[in-house]
Structure formats: structure tokens, C-alpha cells
Structure 1
């Protein structure tokens, strides 16, 4: 989720009581992990999520697998509200992901889906 979340940040998540809205950062349970990703769309039953600098979105996920919304982040000694830490995706981040993937493919280390 860089640049919104950085290495060492600790996110405070509040329980989900209503349907997440596009643009919100949520905590979701996938088969083998928990992730903080941004909501792309949600129809009330299923939501599509994506990391800010991911090349592609996650597969649609049932709303019951979304555990909560990220509201505050502890960064260093400061506690930041959503308006101070949530900067959203940036071109630089997407460019970094593209360069890393192409370099991995060139070196023969590309991930297979």
C-alpha cells in the first residue's frame, strides 16, 4: 500500500458495520493472509480490492471476508488520522512495480500466476 502505508506503520482498524465505499482502505481475509487494500468497487455482496501500487486487482471477495476499515496509523511516535496518512496511489509507485516486474522477467524470476 505504499505510499499510503510505509514499512513500520501500524494500522488501527475499526470493525466494518456497513458496506465499504470505493477508495476506502480495508482489512480483508484471503485464503492464507490478511491484507490492507483499497476498495475499487462494492455491490453490497462482493467487493473488488487492489493495492495502491499493484499491477492488477485482487479477485472479487465476499463482503463477509472484509474485517474492517483502516482509520488511523501509528507512524513513528505519531498517531495519524486518515486524512494525514491516506495519500492514495501514485504514478511513481506504479512505475516502480512495472520496472520490478520487467526486471524479474528479464532475469528469469517472473512469478507465474
Structure 2
């Protein structure tokens, strides 16, 4: 009897999960190249793959490069991967475009090392 009530209580939880969807229209997919990020609007989500080529003057600013160009990225210490990496290590950056007065940069939320 208890199992029957438990099944009745849990059934709606599992059936609504199949109905949940996400927005797939314009702007839903993140920008995936530096060239597109350099033209993107403020707060546009990005997922970039390439190389962090050098550290810039500021503590958390770096230059990032892919096949389409370079862009300045801001990576806070807590967003760095546990394993170290260098300019020859391919990485995946997830974040959002920050549009400044004269330029754009990516505020990185996650750095992943790609094998």
C-alpha cells in the first residue's frame, strides 16, 4: 500500500521532466569564435576553444587566440583549472562578452583543459 502511494506521489515529478524544454531561438546558442565575440553584443554567452597566449599587465587579464583572431579575456583565480597550463595547451573558455567603451573582452566563468 505504501509503495502505491509513493508511486502516485513520484509519478508527476518524472512525467514533467520530459515536458521541460529550453529556448532554442535566435541568441540561444553561445558564440563560438573570437571573430564573432568581437562583434557580439554585451552579455552574449560565449564558448571558445583555443589558446591563452599571454598574460597582460593586469592580474587577471590574458590574451586568448583561436583560428579567427585574438581577444582579451578576464579569468579570476577561482575560475582557473586545478591543473596548470601554458600557451601551447588548448583550452575551452565559457563566459560572456563584456562590451567596454573602446573594446570587447570575455569575462570567463570556466576554464577547461582540452586533451
Instruction: Flag the structure with more relative contact order, 1 or 2, with Cα contacts below 8 A and sequence separation at least 6.
Output: 1
- Is the structural similarity TM-score above 0.5? no
Q: Which has the larger radius of gyration?
A: 2
> TM-score under structure 1 normalisation?
0.29
> TM-score under structure 2 normalisation?
0.28
